Amino acid sequence: MKLRSILILFLCFASYSNAQSDTVRIKELLTRITKTPKPRNYLNLDQLNKTANVIKAEFEKYLDSVYFQEYKVNGITYKNVVGIINPRGKSTLVIGAHYDVCGNQEGADDNGSGIVGLLELARLFDTVSTEKRLEFVAYTLEEPPYFRSENMGSYVHAKSLADENRIVEGMIVLEMIGYFSDEKKSQDYPLGLLKLFYGGKGDYITVVNKFGKGKFARHFLHKMKKNEESPEVKSFNAPKSLPGIDFSDHLNYWKFGFSASMVTDTAFYRNKNYHMSTDKMELLDLARMAGVIDCVYKSLLVL
């Protein structure tokens, strides 16, 4: 075995063994993202740009290349924030989360939790050698009125990969990963029958896939379900027509034929503060959120 290969395996094993998200850092980042003078929605462009600048500055601490992917909607410029490890890698793996909110709210779970997870993953991957091109993307305009439109930041990014003919191994989106409950009947489902299979407590994290999810999504799910720490990982596979299956940025990667998964606490099926002013950092379980981030990191590391 070549020396470089041995070194990569050693670094991967060391990182895998010692991976641990920092709950103090998670709280600090959530505070910076959510406790802002104005909500980070499409109407408050200055606040959106300030949030994008925070994300970019964090990416620049750990990633090889960082830039704004700018595009116009109704004459206004909006920004995805893109950070890359190993820009020359032949195959691309995308890890994403949206940073805008719906309406006038802090959006701690939706989707401050996903953005902070993205930033923590960037930090954890800082010392990892990889032959893949890793793209960490913070999307703008995921929320209404732009959801399901070509104005979504994730559509712009996914299209750019397709236009560049990039070999995309897969994509995961972090969509609300911080709200958990051990109370009975705290978990709802799009179909009541599903409670018999998944239980009535909102104490787990879910990997959501469509039928025909593709090779990457299958392998990622397999690695995630090997998690032996908190929270438990459960899988949810269904046709795209089932409500909730495509309620995030991964839907745009599906449009371009890329294998993509969503990691989520199931959003409004559990967190009743969804799209409300009560979606605050103080309601999140930072320890279990850190566990989710660790699980995603370890799963991606061994793919």
- Please give the helix or strand (H or E) that residue 172 lies within, else none: strand 167-175
Q: Note the pLDDT of residue 21.
A: 87
Q: What is the average per-residue pLDDT within 287-295?
A: 97
Could you confirm whether domain 3-301 is CATH 3.40.630.10? Answer: yes
For residue 57 the two structure tokens come to 């500055």
Q: Note the pLDDT of residue 183.
A: 98
Helices (H), the chain: 3-18, 23-34, 45-62, 114-124, 153-163, 195-198, 215-224, 250-255, 286-301
Q: Identify the CA nearest to 246 among candidates 106, 282, 236, 90.
A: 236
The Cα angle at residue 176 between residues 84 and 256, in degrees rounded to 5 = 55
**Exposed/middle/buried for 200, CB within 10 Å: 0-12, 13-18, 19+?**
middle
pLDDT digits (tens, 9 = 90+) for 13-39: 444 444 578 899 999 999 999 999 999
Q: Note the pLDDT of residue 8.
A: 42
Q: What is the average per-residue pLDDT within 280-299?
A: 97
Domain map (residue ranges) of the chain: 3-301
- pLDDT band of residue 4 (cuts 50, 70, 90) is very low
Q: What is the average per-residue pLDDT within 240-267?
A: 96
Query: Whole-model pTM?
Result: 0.93
pLDDT at 11 over 50: no
pLDDT at 118 over 70: yes
Q: Note the pLDDT of residue 260.
A: 98
3-state helix, strand, coil in the chain (%, to 5): 40, 20, 40
Evaluate the omega torsion of the peptide bond into residue 111 and state whether it is cis, within 30 degrees of 0: yes
Residue written as tokens 């599906």?
Answer: 254
